[in-house]
Amino acid sequence: MTVTIPHQCHFPDIGDQEIASLGVPFAFVSVFDHWLTEAECMATNLFTYRNAFKANQLQDYLAGERKFLALYNHLGNAGTIVNCPGVLRSINSASSEFQRILRRSLREALFM
């Protein structure tokens, strides 16, 4: 089989169409209870790991991070595809490797 688009081997029925155009439900996820304004992003020390560390609020950041990771584990329990280290592949969302990828991405050490 020749793969012409990156996700074709994992989602062969999608072709080159955007997922949203197929009516597949999706959502944006945040650890905050609302979408932050630009001013709120700038004002919060919990927005990034680095800022939380500098402001001595790391425990609060980590509590939010744990909730976010638990949500991602739940969302991915039927199957997860990652693009790390640069190749789309299936991964177990409960694996330590997936947890490491998510943590590094959340902490802006390495984006997915």
Residue 82 CA to residue 47 CA, distance in Å, equals: 23
pLDDT at 112: 42
pLDDT at 48: 84
Residue 6 CA to residue 72 CA, distance in Å, equals: 22
As for how many domains the chain has, the answer is 1
Residue 62 CA to residue 94 CA, distance in Å, equals: 18
Residue 78 lies in a domain: yes
Residue 54 lies in a domain: yes
Expressed as residue numbers, the domain containing 49 is 35-106
* Coil vs helix vs strand at 90: strand
Residue 21 lies in a domain: no
Residue 2 lies in a domain: no
Residue 98 lies in a domain: yes
Over the chain (112 residues), what is each successive 10-residue block's mean pLDDT?
A: 52 60 66 80 82 92 89 84 78 88 80 43
Instruction: Dig out the tokens for 67 from the structure.
Output: 């909730």
pLDDT at 59: 94
Residue 95 lies in a domain: yes
* Coil vs helix vs strand at 91: strand
pLDDT at 40: 86
